[in-house]
Structure 1
């Protein structure tokens, strides 16, 4: 409600049929991908794969997950929508890579995971509503600042792995990674929602082809990053209460 009142005072006209269609299809693929990722991650955890992932060198896990995720994501992006089978195969591979990376999260309490999931849906739902009802391209100029923010958050996340740091420095970098990342990926939801609407208008004009699977990748990564940070924040709060 606050976002809508502050950033969305001048709302746009109702969405066109093309915009509604691409937005709905993109969110369907996003939801489907997240469900597949969650089910696969749960299966990997119950089968013991998550224990092996946790016992592996973190740099190896980081490298394999990055290579697999980026490779399958690029496969999705660069496969034309006409090649349905190949595109869906890359899409399933992308979600499988996300599941392998996220499976250790099931070491956390189910109560924490369920609350984080609920909060994620609420955050993304409300912010995407603001993006969908805002005037055309209002938030597309956030691309540059968001990219800079990703760099800062990524460096703050990796800093404890490569630099000898005191407790105060660790607390600062952790706060930047968690709370800064939460705000950052909320901004990405705004950006990606408006990008979908722009692509729908371009597709309607014949300048490009509508591709909901491609659009869903960005939204899925936004939601995963928000969810991970909420899990960590809730776990910290739970430990402090104890």
Structure 2
């Protein structure tokens, strides 16, 4: 349940980021016209040569201003021709980030590897099944969020009361998650129905992210996959139960991150430095916390695989995938916000 506490607040960050790009558009529609009306005041001899040269000069300046503003308001459109030629470079850049992250995390946290001769087949199959359900769930969330956005759900969601959205979203998210976890894996229909409802709930809350540029969302997804893939590799190859002790500290960390997300509700707007610290804590502290949860969840999957092989519990890859899905969503939302902040500074 603690994993879902940060989910509804992702909507507030999304709305905040979407609200800011409106200024360049307003400037595009108003500034050139104001400039032209201010400078285009012909005297009585309106058709003299000097007035025509002034008019031509005003028109050229207005065209330059509107062109520059159009590039500023749509930064992704100016790179269509250049970006198509740099796809291979970007793919290699992302692969380099993934490889460097993998090596760094493996050197720092995985110096003591398994001593039992490698991962047994039952652990490997259970981990692969969990990853398959995680990828399927994330795919359902992405497709459902895109469909809701195209049908106008994002606009209606933004027009609603944010407290109502937060309350209903939190109740639906936690309710479907608890119901899915409590259902026996033998009851396939109810299990997968609740799991699908949980994914659709997450998609409804994430639908406003579709207002962001597709290139930014793709980069955030690539970075999230690289980060989680590297950490999952470390968790899968580390010694048995080496990182299961992180459960308690990570719960404390997610509580601190949640409180930092609520800080704008109680901290006055004049305390800009305090609000900046809480925002950085929510962003970068959240990346650390949910990266740690990814490491913990992967080792928990292997621990449950050993218990299921011994007959103590039943294999339930759906329940295991829910935790990893929430880790992915929380990291992805923060990646989107960080990349959006970097893009606005340029």
Q: Which residue of 1 aligns with 2:130?
A: 26
Residue among 39, 56, 61 paired with 2:143 = 39
Correspondence 1:210 to 2:315: yes
1:184-207 per-residue CA deviation (whole Å, 9 max, x = no partner) reads: 100000000000000000000011
Which structure has more relative contact order (CA 8 Å, sep 6+)? It is 1
Correspondence 1:88 to 2:192: yes
> Following the alignment from structure 2 to structure 1, what is the Cα–Cα distance between the partners of residues 169 and 288?
24
Q: Which residue of 1 aligns with 2:179?
A: 75
Residue among 209, 213, 222 paired with 1:118 = 222
CA-CA distance at 1:168 after TM superposition: 1.3
1:176-228 per-residue CA deviation (whole Å, 9 max, x = no partner) reads: 00000011100000000000000000000011111000000000000000000
Q: Which residue of 2 aligns with 1:2?
A: 104
CA-CA distance at 1:162 after TM superposition: 3.7
> Following the alignment from structure 1 to structure 2, what is the Cα–Cα distance between the partners of residues 148 and 237?
29
Three-state SS of the structure 1 residue aligned to 2:336 is helix
> What is the TM-score when the length of structure 2 is the normalising length?
0.69
Equivalent residues of 2:112, 2:238 under 8 A apart: yes
Three-state SS of the structure 2 residue aligned to 1:15 is coil
CA-CA distance at 1:2 after TM superposition: 1.2
Q: Which residue of 2 aligns with 1:176?
A: 281
Residue among 96, 101, 105 paired with 2:209 = 105
1:105-153 per-residue CA deviation (whole Å, 9 max, x = no partner) reads: 1111111100000001100101000000000000000001100000000
CA-CA distance at 1:66 after TM superposition: 0.6
Equivalent residues of 2:267, 2:275 under 8 A apart: no
Matching of residues 53-72 of structure 1 within 5 Å: 53-72=157-176
Q: Which residue of 1 aligns with 2:334?
A: 229
Aligned residues: 241
CA-CA distance at 1:161 after TM superposition: 2.7
Q: Which residue of 1 aligns with 2:11?
A: none
Larger radius of gyration: 2
> Following the alignment from structure 2 to structure 1, what is the Cα–Cα distance between the partners of residues 211 and 278?
23
> What is the TM-score when the length of structure 1 is the normalising length?
0.98
Matching of residues 130-149 of structure 1 within 5 Å: 130-149=234-253
Q: Which residue of 1 aligns with 2:260?
A: 156
Correspondence 1:52 to 2:156: yes
> Following the alignment from structure 1 to structure 2, what is the Cα–Cα distance between the partners of residues 107 and 153?
25
